[in-house]
């Protein structure tokens, strides 16, 4: 059979793949230094909707429930997870494996920022190199025993989301959106990508649904009526909840103390829902 180039992964294939079929790459090998029960990716497609905050809060919530939790920061060119957990400095290595940094409450984190001398240093890498770094975060990091590993994906539907969906043993993804029509339009692309890749969508969280007044505690909308529930009904996926803008969350994240933030949505409701889903 004549060789062809896959339109999904842009790799030359020998008969297994054509422009009309989805290329499924071989899963990455098991890591002898890791035993991870559940892998959940957090995706939005749209930048600036608070995806990293949602990822971090999910990790905090499951950690408070007594689960062993890690966060793989797959946003290679825009990593922000370490700062929210107050983690700085280089991750340790024994020459064979890299050890994730651990937060004050025991959440394990691996990010490119933990491999750079300065947290504001940048990298100029093309897609294949970025995807290779994400793969190494899976194969070369000694995660140990984890109940849940949350993967913070970058915006878009490009190399990194494709690599994670094809190569990691994902139990599913959680989609993050915001009320604006523009955000909803782009988030739908992420949902359609996950459906196309046959990755289960565990639910959608709508962020920035309003602002909470620091004086009276009243919530008022900033970006109009949310589209989260409507999208969930259209695609037949669970609606996990809404999250208003909260100045306290911003302050704690900037100070590296996100683990001190309290939210019933992330500490009670979502862990309760997800631990009862079969991945």
**pLDDT for 9 beyond 80:** no
Q: Provide the Cα torsion 58, 59, 62, 64; round to 10°.
A: -110
**pLDDT for 269 beyond 60:** yes
3-state secondary structure of 52: helix
pTM for the full predicted model: 0.88
Confidence of residue 166 (pLDDT cuts 50, 70, 90): very high
- Cα→Cα distances 123→48, 133, 134, 164, Å: 20, 12, 14, 20
Nearest Cα neighbor of 243 from 40, 82, 42 is 42
Contacts of residue 147, Cβ cutoff 8 Å, sequence gap at least 6? 37, 38, 62, 67, 68, 69
Q: Name residue 244's beta-bridge partners.
A: none
User: pLDDT digits over 201-253, tens only?
Assistant: 999 999 999 887 778 878 888 887 788 999 999 999 999 999 998 889 999 99
**pLDDT for 22 beyond 50:** no
Q: Name residue, tokens 């639910």.
A: 203
Checking phi first, is residue 66 left (phi over 0); if not, alpha (psi -120 to 50) or beta? left
Instruction: Domain 31-274: give its CATH code.
Output: 3.40.50.300
Domain boundaries along the sequence of the chain: 31-274
- Give the mean pLDDT of the chain: 88
Mean pLDDT to the nearest integer, 253-258: 97
Checking phi first, is residue 172 left (phi over 0); if not, alpha (psi -120 to 50) or beta? left
**pLDDT for 3 beyond 70:** no
Q: Which residue has the higher pLDDT, 62 or 18?
A: 62
């Amino acid at each position: 059979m004549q060789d062809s180039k896959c339109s999904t992964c842009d790799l030359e294939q020998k008969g297994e793949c054509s422009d009309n079929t989805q290329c499924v790459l071989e899963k990455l090998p098991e890591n002898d230094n890791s035993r991870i029960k559940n892998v959940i990716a957090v995706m939005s497609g749209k930048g600036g909707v608070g995806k990293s905050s949602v990822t971090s809060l999910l990790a905090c919530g499951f950690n408070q429930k007594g689960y062993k939790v890690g966060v793989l920061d797959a946003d290679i060119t825009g990593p922000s997870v370490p700062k929210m957990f107050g983690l700085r400095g280089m991750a340790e290595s024994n020459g064979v494996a890299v050890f994730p940094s651990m937060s004050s409450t025991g959440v394990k984190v691996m990010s490119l920022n933990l491999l750079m001398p300065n947290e504001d240093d940048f990298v100029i890498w093309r897609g294949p190199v970025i995807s290779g770094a994400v793969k190494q975060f899976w194969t070369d990091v000694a995660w140990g025993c984890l109940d849940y590993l949350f993967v913070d994906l970058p915006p878009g539907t490009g190399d990194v989301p494709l690599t994670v969906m094809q190569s990691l043993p994902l139990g599913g993804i959680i989609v993050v959106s915001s009320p604006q029509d523009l955000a909803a339009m782009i988030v739908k692309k992420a949902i359609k990508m996950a459906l196309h890749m046959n990755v289960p969508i565990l639910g959608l969280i709508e962020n920035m649904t309003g602002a909470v007044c620091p004086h009276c505690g009243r919530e008022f909308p900033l970006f109009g009526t949310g589209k989260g529930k409507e999208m969930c009904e259209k695609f037949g996926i669970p609606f996990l909840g809404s999250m208003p803008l909260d100045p306290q969350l911003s302050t704690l994240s900037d100070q590296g103390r996100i683990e001190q933030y309290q939210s019933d949505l992330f500490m009670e409701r979502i862990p309760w829902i997800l631990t009862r889903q079969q991945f």
